[in-house]
Structure 1
Amino acid sequence: MDEYLPAYLIREQAAVGALVIFGVLRVIAAAVAFSKGWRITILEKCFIAVAVLYCIPQLFDLLTQLYRVRVALPEFEGKALGCTIALFSAPILSHRLGFE
């Protein structure tokens, strides 16, 4: 019998993982940047670049390996969605905490 995780579970796990990683790191980085006097706009650009690098392995698998499409597509979608939500909502939380 062909047993595997459904696509929605893979997507949810990847999204939650990316959300936690980038959300927590973004708030911590905002606190450090605030204490050092760094510009927040540069920090945001760096986190966008890191989020793109975080999603590239699944995009590479999706484009080159046809036998992994069933796993790579939901994982890529989940990571991209989690990064997007984290990078959108973390500045709001940082602002509420007084770091921005």
Structure 2
Amino acid sequence: MDEFLPAYLIREQAAVGALVMFGVLRIMGAAVAVSKGWRIAAVERCFIAIAVLYCFPQLFDLLTQLYRARVAAAEFEGKAIGCAVALFCAPILSHRLGFE
């Protein structure tokens, strides 16, 4: 089924999924960190590590399986872009909400 979907659709779907997931989780993480008294910098580092782990399976597929390289590349690019945008914009929103 992957061969029938264009790469840009796979990339966009992965980007939107990562953007929503990491954006919401980052804001919820900031709210929990404020209530528990944790440092926001430590929470930020944890979310960066989680984003790397979230993108790792597609990177592994891209490097090891040549027959899935087109799909894995599109998924990896989408997830990486979505995570980067979410982890850049979520602190701005959580600051506006008063969590940072």
Which residue identity does 1:32 align to in structure 2?
Answer: V
Which residue of structure 2 aligns with residue 87 of structure 1? 87
Cα drift, residue 70 of structure 1: 1.2
- Supply the distance in 2 between the matched residues of 1:49 and 1:70 (Cα, whole angstroms): 25
SS in 2 for 1:96: helix
- Stretches of structure 2 lacking an aligned partner (at least 5 in a row): none
- Supply the distance in 1 between the matched residues of 2:92 and 2:83 (Cα, whole angstroms): 15
- Supply the distance in 2 between the matched residues of 1:81 and 1:98 (Cα, whole angstroms): 26
Deviations 1:8-64 (A, max 9, x none): 000000000000110000000100100111000000000000000000000000000
Deviations 1:50-81 (A, max 9, x none): 00000000000000000001100000000000
Which residue of structure 2 aligns with residue 75 of structure 1? 75
- Supply the distance in 1 between the matched residues of 2:4 and 2:76 (Cα, whole angstroms): 17
- Supply the distance in 2 between the matched residues of 1:12 and 1:71 (Cα, whole angstroms): 12
TM-score, normalised relative to structure 1: 0.96
Stretches (4+) displaced over 6 A: none
Which residue of structure 1 aligns with residue 19 of structure 2? 19
- Supply the distance in 2 between the matched residues of 1:7 and 1:77 (Cα, whole angstroms): 10
- Stretches of structure 1 lacking an aligned partner (at least 5 in a row): none
Which residue identity does 2:80 align to in structure 1?
Answer: A
| CA-based RMSD | 0.7
- Supply the distance in 2 between the matched residues of 1:88 and 1:43 (Cα, whole angstroms): 14
Which residue identity does 1:82 align to in structure 2?
Answer: G
Which residue of structure 1 aligns with residue 55 of structure 2? 55
Which residue identity does 1:67 align to in structure 2?
Answer: Y
TM-score, normalised relative to structure 2: 0.96
Which residue identity does 1:52 align to in structure 2?
Answer: V
